[in-house]
Structure 1
Amino acid sequence: MRQKLRQLRLDRGISQSFISKKLGFSYPSGYSNIEAGRNRLNYDHAIIIANLLGVDVSELDEDANFFAQKLHKTCNKESA
């Protein structure tokens, strides 16, 4: 996923600082750590990043099942 996030971001000319601020991090390292694989990408941040990059959240990872499972769990929590 790291390479895909980086490539999508670079293709669109978006900085790590910009995404980091949109995610609510105080420093650019908040997002760069996700892109570098030092921190995990949570589903809420994935939705924000997907919107910023103009893609569907399933396009952020080669393993689309990961996000499908998280979406299922999130929807079940909201409807409970």
Structure 2
Amino acid sequence: MKLENLREERILQGKTQTYMAKKLGYKYTSGYANIEMGRTKPSLEIAYCRSAEYRGSRAFFWPKVTRKE
């Protein structure tokens, strides 16, 4: 996951950090802002929910993961 892309994509979609923090269940905006700034890493649950916000693409967070069939 590239954190600079995380912020850019949020801005391109016209969403605020406040919106994303509330959407992901953070009590304060700083919880989400810390992820964007790289101070903390998102949990798998948060990353999965966040990837749905990015046009449903899980590849945004896990670009090298391929599905075994």
Q: TM-score, normalised by structure 1?
A: 0.70
Residue 23 (structure 1) aligned with residue 15 (structure 2): no
Larger Cα-atom Rg: 1
By relative contact order (CA 8 Å, sep 6+), the higher-ranking structure is: 2
Q: 1 or 2, which has the higher helix percentage?
A: 1
Q: In structure 2, give the amino acid aligned to 1:12.
A: Q
Q: Structure 2: where are the runs of 5+ without partners?
A: none
- The percent of aligned pairs where both chains have the same amino acid is 29
Gap regions ≥5 residues in structure 1:
70-80
The aligned length equals 67
Pair 1:45 & 2:46 matched: yes
Matching residue of 2:13: 12
| Runs of 4+ residues over 4 Å off in structure 1 | none
* TM superposition shift of 1:57: 1.7
The RMSD of aligned alpha carbons is 2.3
State the 1:43 CA deviation. 1.8
TM-score (ref. length: structure 2): 0.80
Q: CA deviation at 1:51?
A: 1.4
CA contact (8 A) 2:21 2:27 kept: yes
Q: In 2, Cα distance between the equivalents of 1:4 and 1:49?
A: 13
